[in-house]
Structure 1
Amino acid sequence: MEIEIATIGGYEEVGRQMTAVRAGDDVVIFDMGLNLSKVLIHDNVQTEKMHSLDLIDMGAIPDDRVMSDIEGDVQAIVPTHGHLDHIGALSKLAHRYDAPIVATPFTIELVKQEINDENKFVVENDLQKMEGGETMEIGNGLELEFVHVTHSIIDAINPVLHTPEGAIVYGLDKRMDHTPVIEDPIDMKRFREIGREGEGVLAYIEDCTNANKKGRTPSESVARRHLQDVMTSIEDYDGGIVATTFSSHISRVSSLVEFAQDIGRTPLLLGRSMEKYSGTAERLGFVDFPDEVGMFGHRKSVDRTFKRIMNEGKENFLPIVTGHQGEPRAMLTRMGRGETPYQLDDGDKVIFSARVIPEPTNEGQRYQSENLLRMQGARIYDEIHVSGHLCQEGHYTMLDALQPKHVIPAHQNMKGYSGYVDLCQNQGYELGRDIHVTHNGNVISLVE
């Protein structure tokens, strides 16, 4: 059976992921994501109102025109998890393909919201839910399997396409977490089985975000302990404490809620995306927040909540807000500019339970946001976080488990690939033979 892989997006950058695998006459697409930094550098861009071609020209979504060179029928579109760099282009591109969108329950709910917010295109693809650990027959003699992984968002999977020539494992994005906070551990047992059954693993497509970092990525439970230590250390402060993290990081948000109550403060989730992700997670039963936790997304309701905090005393509340990357319109940035009823005073604490995404636009915005907060007297607690991506020892463990015949680095630029290429070469792989460093719009033929 002919096997080829189209590396459509995310192979020269971090963001706008999209990969297509053709096995015989059948094609499966993995991810359709957004490169948010290409949007943020423009003022007040509303992507939901833009045409796909304009977004392609901006470099914001994948240029999927290479799909016209792929001879086969798309059988499924499979987003791995609910981050926008993996689902943010579905509302712009999915309607071009007569295929269902297959994803885990939490991811499907986020996809629905993306589609509902779309103003330019009508997306009528069927939405099919499949849990981690489940499989489905697809195309002619193929099987799609979801392997549960841990990441900085719940309900993430690595999809595996089983073909007569061996398995194609799409390895974006994951952390090897054996002690997560609210989910099951990563299913390493299943990865090891896949590496040793049938024809083994023909190709492994791997996220290289942290491939140049030594050691292993710590568990979310490590970030939880760090966060608890910081919040306990400021328990007696009688002024304002504000926290920010990734809105989609439900495990971290749940820890912030718990520790806020432990130090005698009412947690409040503020911002559109904070309300969106946490509300969806609670509705699906992934988390059960206490009744006193308020979620407010609309600007006016957020400002009313800020007025309540100022009237009842900042020492009684912990606002958990959007804006950890310094996004211009996010809650924390507005607070830093003095555009909300919440007033920061000398000595007030701002907890960043997130790292800045290593990309110039984000780094510049975060730098500006922190300066604005400091100018108002805020004391900043930074880097209370663990990454959602594998470092080098995790990559070594995955190669040992899967023993793939071919490896394809993804989710980075050429410099970011270097650590992974070195690691693979140390394990006997050879660049150009079975290590395929590629670019957006390329097609790799594995079996002819």
Structure 2
Amino acid sequence: MEIEIATIGGYEEVGRQMTAVRAGDDIVIFDMGLNLSKVLIHDNIRTEGMHSLDLIDMGAIPDDRIMSDLEGDVQAIVPTHGHLDHIGAISKLAHRYDAPIIASPFTLELVKGELEEEGKFDADNELIAMDPGETTSIGDSGVLDLEFVNVTHSIVDAINPVLHTPEGAVVYGLDKRMDHTPVIGDPIDMERFREIGREGEGVLAYIEDCTNANKKGRTPSESVAREHLRDVLYSMEDYDGGIVATTFSSHIARVKSLIEFARDIGRQPILLGRSMETYSGTAKQIGIDFPSDVEMVGYRQSIEQTFERIMNEGKENFLPVVTGHQGEPRATLTRMGRGETPYELEDGDKVVFSARVIPEPTNEGQRYQAEKLLRMQGARIYDDIHVSGHLCQEGHYEMLDELQPEHVIPAHQNMSGFSGYVDLASNQGYKLGRDLHVTSNGNIIDLV
């Protein structure tokens, strides 16, 4: 059976992930993501009403026109998890393909929200929920199976999809870390990865997220970040001024920890911001282990009214958890720094960043500016209370040992970001141009 892999997006940058695997006459697409920095660099741009071709020209979504070079029919669109760099282009591209969207339950609910908000295209793709650990048949040949392997990441319900073919398995390894003690959900299923590497024809190809491939050591568990956060917030228990926290809205485990520790120190947590309401509301809706009684406020006018209430009742009684950890210009925390909300920051007030800056120039510049603004208001910054959602070098070595893939394809980075992975894969016996394929957007790799 002929096997081809089209590296469509995410092979020259962090963002707009999209990969297609052709096995015989059947094609499976993994991820359709957005490069958010290409959107944020423009003021007041709204992608909902934009045409896909304009977004492709901006570099904001994958250029999927290379799909016409693959001879076969798309049988499934499979997002790995609910981050926008993996699902943010589905509303712009999925309607082009007569194929169902198959995802884990939490991811699928987020995809539904993206499709409902779309203002330009009307996608009627069937939406199919599949749990981690399950397998389904793909295409008409009867020889292809799609399996979801449970992984841990900075969002719940993340999976690594595996396409089982007669020539071996194609493992799409974006995005994950090896967390054996997660705050929410099950640990990463390393036992299943080990089995896949040793059963049948083994692993034909492994496509790997290289975000932290230049970092030595091992990525800590989310439970480490939870204890760090507990220590920071407990140290503020006797402070009688304002405390504000920010983190990734999609990081349900971290938001849950913030809610619990706010209550432990006698403050009422309130989630403020549209994306906070979206992700946490979705988690509650599908029954994820998340506090059911926390207040969520999503829209600008309601946020302003909530801030007025906080100021009237006393900042010392509340802990707002707000959007804006990357310094996004329109996010709640950035507006607080500019003095555009009723919440008055004063000398000594605490701002807790339970997030790191995404290593990309737009984010780094915006975050720097936001922190400057907050400090000008007198705020004290608590930074980097976080652990990454991506493997560092020792995790990559372990995945190669368990899967023993015939071919390896680095993804989710630019060329300099691939360098660490090329070194470690070379140490494991892989060779550039033979079985280690450093590629770019818009290429097709012939494996069989």
Q: If the length of structure 2 is used for normalisation, what is the TM-score? A: 0.99
Q: Distance in 1 between matches of 2:329 and 2:263?
A: 30
Q: Could you tell me which residue of structure 1 aligns to residue 278 of structure 2?
A: 276
Q: Could you tell me which residue of structure 1 aligns to residue 304 of structure 2?
A: 303
1:99 equivalenced with 2:106 (yes/no): no
Cα-to-partner distance string for 1:186-233 (whole Å, 9 max, x where unaligned): 000000000000000000000000000000000000000000000011
Check whether the contact 2:82–2:155 (CA below 8 A) recurs between aligned residues: yes
Q: Distance in 1 between matches of 2:138 and 2:109?
A: 23
1:212 equivalenced with 2:214 (yes/no): yes
Q: Distance in 2 between matches of 1:295 and 1:352?
A: 19
Q: 2:227 aligns with which of 225, 228, 233?
A: 225
1:70 equivalenced with 2:74 (yes/no): no
Cα-to-partner distance string for 1:121-159 (whole Å, 9 max, x where unaligned): 001000000000000001111000000000000000000
Q: Could you tell me which residue of structure 2 aligns to residue 417 of structure 1?
A: 418
Q: Distance in 2 between matches of 1:313 and 1:420?
A: 51
Matches within 5 A, 1:118-197: 118-139=118-139, 140=141, 141-197=143-199
Q: Distance in 2 between matches of 1:350 and 1:281?
A: 25
Q: Could you tell me which residue of structure 2 aligns to residue 51 of structure 1?
A: 51
Q: Distance in 1 between matches of 2:444 and 2:325?
A: 37
1:20 is paired with a residue of what secondary structure?
A: strand
Q: Distance in 2 between matches of 1:136 and 1:155?
A: 18
2:163 is paired with a residue of what secondary structure?
A: strand
Q: Distance in 2 between matches of 1:35 and 1:203?
A: 25
Q: Distance in 2 between matches of 1:258 and 1:336?
A: 26
1:445 equivalenced with 2:446 (yes/no): yes
C-alpha displacement of 1:404:
0.2
Cα-to-partner distance string for 1:245-265 (whole Å, 9 max, x where unaligned): 000000000000000000000
Matches within 5 A, 1:333-412: 333-412=334-413
Cα-to-partner distance string for 1:28-67 (whole Å, 9 max, x where unaligned): 0000000000001101110011000000000000000000
C-alpha displacement of 1:289:
1.1
Q: Could you tell me which residue of structure 2 aligns to residue 267 of structure 1?
A: 269
Q: Could you tell me which residue of structure 2 aligns to residue 294 of structure 1?
A: 295
Q: CA RMSD in A?
A: 0.5
C-alpha displacement of 1:287:
2.5
Q: Could you tell me which residue of structure 1 aligns to residue 18 of structure 2?
A: 18
C-alpha displacement of 1:288:
3.2
Q: Distance in 2 between matches of 1:77 and 1:156?
A: 15
Q: Distance in 2 between matches of 1:373 and 1:429?
A: 48
Q: Distance in 2 between matches of 1:65 and 1:288?
A: 41
Q: 1:247 aligns with which of 246, 249, 255?
A: 249
Counterpart amino acid of 2:272? L
Q: Could you tell me which residue of structure 2 aligns to residue 431 of structure 1?
A: 432
Number of residue pairs matched by the alignment: 446
Q: Distance in 2 between matches of 1:154 and 1:443?
A: 31
Counterpart amino acid of 1:404? P
1:421 is paired with a residue of what secondary structure?
A: helix
Cα-to-partner distance string for 1:381-436 (whole Å, 9 max, x where unaligned): 00000000000000000000000000000000000000000000001110110000
Q: Could you tell me which residue of structure 2 aligns to residue 115 of structure 1?
A: 115
Q: Distance in 2 between matches of 1:163 and 1:205?
A: 15
Q: Distance in 1 between matches of 2:406 and 2:291?
A: 45
Counterpart amino acid of 1:347? G
Q: Distance in 2 between matches of 1:12 and 1:290?
A: 41
Structure 1 stretch 281-290 or stretch 76-85: which is displaced more?
281-290
Q: Distance in 2 between matches of 1:150 and 1:277?
A: 17
Counterpart amino acid of 1:206? E
1:21 is paired with a residue of what secondary structure?
A: strand
Q: Distance in 1 between matches of 2:262 and 2:186?
A: 25
Paired-residue identity, %: 82
Q: Distance in 2 between matches of 1:68 and 1:284?
A: 37
Counterpart amino acid of 2:110? L
Counterpart amino acid of 2:70? I
2:447 is paired with a residue of what secondary structure?
A: strand
C-alpha displacement of 1:290:
4.8
Matches within 5 A, 1:26-45: 26-45=26-45
2:161 is paired with a residue of what secondary structure?
A: strand
Q: Could you tell me which residue of structure 1 aligns to residue 287 of structure 2?
A: 285
1:204 is paired with a residue of what secondary structure?
A: strand
C-alpha displacement of 1:283:
1.0
2:245 is paired with a residue of what secondary structure?
A: strand
Instruction: Point out where structure 1 has 5 or more consecutive residues left out of the alignment.
Output: none
Q: Distance in 2 between matches of 1:176 and 1:256?
A: 22
Q: Distance in 1 between matches of 2:29 and 2:342?
A: 46
Q: Which runs of 4+ in 1 moved over 4 A?
A: none
Q: Distance in 1 between matches of 2:319 and 2:129?
A: 35
